[in-house]
Every structure is written in structure tokens, then in C-alpha cells.
Amino acid sequence: MINDKQSISSYVNTRIQNNYLINYGTTDHHSNGIKQTMFYLLYFIISHALDDGNTVLVLKNTPVADKPYQAWQKSVIDFTTTYLNGYLADTLEIDDILKQIDEYQNDNHALQACIAQAQQALKSSYDKSLLLNPIKSDTNSIMHAHYKNHLSDILLWLLRFYFYGQHRLNGDLTAFINGLDYQCFFTNHIEHQDKPIVVYHAGDKAYFWLGRIYKAEKALLTQLQKISQSPVSPISLGSLNPSLSTEQKQAINTIANHAFSLIIGGPGTGKTFTIAQIVKAIYQSQSSDDSFALALVAPTGKAAQRMAESLQSALQGSSDITLPEPMTIHRLLGMGMRGVPRFHKTNPLPYEMIIVDEASMFGVELATLLLMAVKCGTRVILLGDAHQLSAVDAGAVLADLCRLQMCQNALVRLTQSKRFNSTSGVGRLASFINEDKIHDIGSVLSLIHEETQLSFIDIAKSSLSGVALEEFYQTLTLPYMTDKQTLSFFAFTKYIRHNFYRQTDDEKYQTVKQLMTTFNDYRILTASHLSYWGDNKINDYIRHAHREFLGLPPMQAHYSPWYHGRVVMVLKNRYDLGLFNGDIGICLQSGKKANELSVYFLANELHSFSVGVLDDDMITTAYAMTVHKSQGSEFTNVAVVFHEDNARLLSKELIYTAITRAKNSVSIYSSEKALMQAVNGPTIRQTGLTI
């Protein structure tokens, strides 16, 4: 958190030095101090709203039934209080402090004493939290002093915000907006301005953006309209595949006649198969002397790779078609180390068609960079599932585009799933979750209990004791250890341990392929990395269980983390090695000695790397993974772990994405409270694209 504080302060100071802000404290100290406070507080809140995926902060000028202040004040107070309480041992009694401010509003001395007392109480609570959390207390004392001062500053900003808004502006949002410092805020007339915070006030609402995010959203909409209106020659389709559904034929016709297309559908609805028919039609219409510049891209390297594999599979029998190498959007744009793209508005991409898969993972800034680099006449096709998790970065571009009026003629929804339908257990639960209404726990559990493909295990009791928690981990691990039909994953790794290195290259390819298939029969998905319910703790337990199963000595701190059978995931793109973020590899004994280990990755061919090549910051153990990392993948059976410790992350998109990774069955390990938070969680991020 200190980094947040430092970045805000340094940003403001920089702008003061460059005469973007007035020199506070020179004339009207009180007035300018208030303005500075407003800037600090709003910049802090908007920045953290971005971390939660929201591109805009919306404040409403409406009364609140149980509070003396307005909704716009409550939004700021609630957000800030929640943030502060996350670092404190005791809950900050903010309402009591605000009542004291009301009482002392005309007594400056008493008011200052009240604020100082509140700041001291906060610091004491922070110190108390260190005594209760040995892990947190390991951080050096200097850092903790910074944390305390950071939290104290935020509380000061909040109390000044309340005093100013409530007792000088009488809770009037319009007066608040009008009183902002126009030298650092830019209100309503938003053209050709360089401002750190942009404000748009309309009716009873005010919208706040960071300046760069506002510019990105505005540029995206402008460029999208330009692309959509670009003239393109219709694609000659010829005779279409007779297995195509009516929806798929509609999608193909839309792509054939529009420069911009949105093809939306859940897992197994045939998005890739539909695109394959368009690609096939284009290549078949080309003469031998013609060339067609096609780009296959996705937000992540793994997603791009899976896209190419799926397209190639859909094009079986079309041996004359050679697909281009898939790329990440960063690679397509030629993004350098400084994040500056080589391709942009004045140097556009040299492609006639750009197909983007997993577009739900689009953040607004990355989407803007891509569309700005599209030349006139290029077809752009976005594929994705609008119900899945949005991007880790800010924005919900795909969901927003589906709601924009300008995109409706280019939008086709595919609803018929071949992976599962609405009458299957997984399909029924997916449809149930996406219903636009609040569900009660009874109806959720009733649906789950009706379906043999679904199960719910209440883990509330697991937190009561170490024994219960151990049983929970054992239950999660069991499918990796036992399988009634074939060798389990653990048993498979044990079976090949001492003979894998003797196999030929072809035999190794087949062995790793079978091993990967076995591993994909079951996967554990979590909401977060952290807490006892995150993938870090679960992976630690399974690692020890796997080593014990293989007869290996227990893990020691000074031991190498590598062992035969360890499953790992790549955390960042390594184009030099041909490895991408999200790739799964398995460590196997590649020589006669136990410490001769290599990690094997399977794409179109088998790749192996000595464990010494893969740094610790490049990979992580991956028996379990977060739901975010699972996007674009599918597994036979899935275990989903949710807990209220990760309440901030629980949403409809999260549980929908998790359960739709399964082809057969889903086991939900959760408390009833966490399950309901997920099922009834918010589904729409606050963004500026649809304002």
C-alpha cells in the first residue's frame, strides 16, 4: 500500500512543479487544502476502482435512508472505510467519528483534536493487528511505519471530505463538483485537455475517470465506429458446411458482409468451427497467386495457442490451408519493454483480417491499442463469452460492446452448446447463474442435489480445526490418487518414473500426451492464490502428497522444488523458449539418476527443458489454479473452491467461468455464504463505454 501512497503523492507533486496545480498554501490555505484533499482522496479511490476492474467512479446525488448524508458521500465513505478496516485489528467506528465531526463543526480546536484522536486510534489498531498476525509482523519496522502513516493520511482525507461536503456544501453534489480545483480536474468540456482526473456531471450523477482511461475509452469508441463504417468487399462463401446451425450461418453471413463482427457464445457453441468455415471460404476463393494476410490473436499466449489448435482441428481435411502463427496482442502490436506499440494509427497493421479469441479478457487500454492500429478495410472479428470473467486489467470491453447500439448489427449470439446443453447438470447450473434475479440458497442447493453431475460440499466446518482442514485437503487430492477405470495421475507418474528416459522420442510424445490427458481429467479451481482456500496452500499440500505417493523424501526448505511428477504452469510469455503464460508442463525423470529432471510441454510437438532453465519467477506448481488462469481450458471434472475470505473476488462471472470448464462433473467446495456471494455477485463493472 505504501507504493500506492507514494505514486499518488509523487504524481501530484510532479504536476505542481509543472504548474498544473496551484501552489497550495500561498493564498487561501484552508480552501486550497480542501482542494488538495479532494484530489488525493478521489485519485486514491479511482485508482483502486481500477484494480477492481472499474474504469469510472460513479457518485449519485440521492438520499440514503439510514444515513444523514447523500449517496455520493456514502460511496466514498464506505469504500475508504472498508479499505482501512482491511488492515486493522479492530473495526473503525467511522459513524461515531462522523457524529463527533458534526458536533464540533464550529469548534476548530475540538475538530482538530477529534481527527488527531481518530488517527491515533487507527495506528494503535494497526499495531494490534501485527501482534495477531505473525506473518505480517515479519515485515521490517520502517515499512510498517510507512503503512501506518499511509492509512492515517487516508483517514484524514476522508474526514476532511466529509466535513467539507456535509457542513460547507450541505451534501450538494453539484456544489461539490463546482468547488473542485479546475486546474487539476476537468469538468464537462473534456476535449483536448491533459488532466489527471476527468469529471462529467449529468443530472444527479457524477462520473470520475483517470485522464488516461477516459482518453482510452473515448478513442476506442471513435475507432470502433470508424472500423464498422469501413467499406469491405463481401466474402464469397460458396457452399457452406451442411452441419452448420442457423445461428452459425447467421454469424458467417455477418462476418462476410461487415468490417466488424462480434460472435458471442458459451463453451461448446461452435465459435471456432464457425470461424473455420469463413477462413476456409477465404482461402478457397484465392487464386494460387493471391495472398491473404490473416492474424490470429488472443490476449494471452496460451489462449492464442489454443485458438490455433482448435482452428486446425476444425479445418481437418483442408490440407491446402496453412494457418499463420498465433500471437498475443502485445506481440502483434510489437510492444516493446516500455509498452510503446510499433503499430499504431499512423503505422497500421498490415492485415486484411484480424481474429481475436477470448475477447472477454480484453482490458480497455489493450483493446484501444489494438483497434487504433487497424487499417481501413481490415475485417476485425471478436470471439468470446460475455458471461465469463472480464479482463484482469480495467474494463469489460466485450460485455460493453454487446450492449452498445452501434454494435447490434454486427452481433451474433451462439446459444446451442455441444459440450453441454441447458438440460445437463452443468448447463442447467450455468443458465441458472446467469438469470437476472437474486437466488436464495434453497433453490441453488435444490438444483445441485437434483443433478448427479453436481455436488456441494460445505467447508464451513473445515475452518474450525486443523483436523477438518486436513480432511478437506485430502478430499481435494483424492482424485489425483485413485481412479477405478485407469491409472490415476499419481499412479501414472509412479509407473513411468524409472523407464521414461529409456523411451524413444515418439514413445515419449505418446506417454506425455497420455499423462496430460490423465491430468486433465480433474482440476481444482480457486478464487484466489491466498488463504487456506487459495491455490498456493492447496498446491503445497498436494505437492507433499505426491512426493509421499512416489516414495520421495519429504520436502525441506533447502531442497530443490523440482521432483519427478511435479506439474507446473508458466507465468509469463517466453517467446525465446516458445512458452506462453498459462502453459502446463510436467517434470519427469529424464535420465538414470533421480536428479536428472526435465519439464515437458506438449503443443503440436513435444518440447522439453532442463529444470535449470525455468526460473522460480517464471513457473509455479499447478495441481490447482485460479479460475482466471483456467479461462479457455476445459477439463473432464472440476472441483471449485470458494470461501468468504475471498469475498471481494466472488461473482457470477467467476462461478460461471469455473463450472463451464467442466465437460462432465462439478464439485463445489464452499460455505453457503460464499456460494451465495458468488451466485448473486455483481455482473457488470462500472465503465464509461456505455454511459
pLDDT band at 24 (very low <50, low <70, confident <90, very high): very low
pLDDT given at position 23:
31
Is residue 645 over pLDDT 50? Answer: yes
Strand extents, DSSP E, 188-232: 197-202, 205-210
* Buried-exposed string 333-363: b where 16+ CB fall within 10 A, e elsewhere: bebeeeeebebeeeeebebbbbbbbbbbbbb
Strand extents, DSSP E, 571-618: 584-589, 597-602, 606-610
640 in Cβ contact with 538 (< 8 Å): no
pLDDT band at 355 (very low <50, low <70, confident <90, very high): very high
The average pLDDT across 284-312 equals 77
Q: At 358, list the grid cell.
A: 477470448
Note the pLDDT tens digit of each residue in 413-426.
988 877 666 568 88
Strand 294-298 versus strand 353-356 pairing type: parallel
Note the pLDDT tens digit of each residue in 478-505.
999 986 567 899 999 999 999 999 999 9
SS3 367: helix
Note the pLDDT tens digit of each residue in 68-94.
888 999 999 999 998 898 889 888 899
Alpha-carbon span 274 to 130, nearest angstrom = 56
Q: At 69, list the grid cell.
A: 448524508
274 in Cβ contact with 256 (< 8 Å): no
pLDDT given at position 388:
84
The average pLDDT across 606-628 equals 91
pLDDT given at position 69:
86
Strand 606-610 versus strand 353-356 pairing type: unpaired
Alpha-carbon span 613 to 610, nearest angstrom = 6
Alpha-carbon span 474 to 469, nearest angstrom = 9
CB burial class (10 A; 0-12, 13-18, 19+) of residue 326? buried
pTM score of the predicted model: 0.79
587 in Cβ contact with 596 (< 8 Å): no
> Residue 412 carries which DSSP code?
E
pLDDT band at 622 (very low <50, low <70, confident <90, very high): very high
Alpha-carbon span 13 to 15, nearest angstrom = 5
SS3 455: strand
pLDDT given at position 27:
33
Q: Cell 479482463 appears where?
A: 391
196 in Cβ contact with 43 (< 8 Å): yes
Alpha-carbon span 339 to 297, nearest angstrom = 18
- 473: closest CA among 524, 521, 402? 524
Q: Which residues pair with 265 in a beta bridge?
A: 414
pLDDT band at 313 (very low <50, low <70, confident <90, very high): confident
SS3 604: coil
To the nearest whole percent, how much of the chain has pLDDT over 70? 89
Note the pLDDT tens digit of each residue in 107-120.
889 999 999 999 99
User: Please, which residues have CB within 8 angstroms of residue 379's CB and are 6 or more apart in sequence?
Assistant: 232, 255, 258, 259, 260, 261, 352, 353, 354
* Buried-exposed string 511-535: b where 16+ CB fall within 10 A, e elsewhere: bbeebbebbbbbbbbbbbbeebbbb
Which contacts of 630-633 are long-range, i.e. CB under 8 A and separated by 24 or more positions? 630/523, 630/525, 630/657, 630/658, 630/661, 631/303, 631/358, 631/360, 631/361, 631/388, 631/389, 631/657, 632/298, 632/300, 632/302, 632/303, 632/306, 632/357, 632/358, 632/582, 633/306, 633/523, 633/661
Is residue 32 over pLDDT 70? Answer: no
For residue 187, the number of C-alpha atoms closer than 13 Å in the C-beta half-sphere is: 15
* Mean pLDDT value across the chain: 84
Note the pLDDT tens digit of each residue in 573-587.
777 787 877 889 999
Higher pLDDT pick, 296 / 11: 296
Return the minimum-mean-pLDDT range out of 141-150, 222-231, 400-409, 523-532.
Answer: 141-150
User: Position 667: which residue type?
Assistant: S
Alpha-carbon span 302 to 310, nearest angstrom = 12
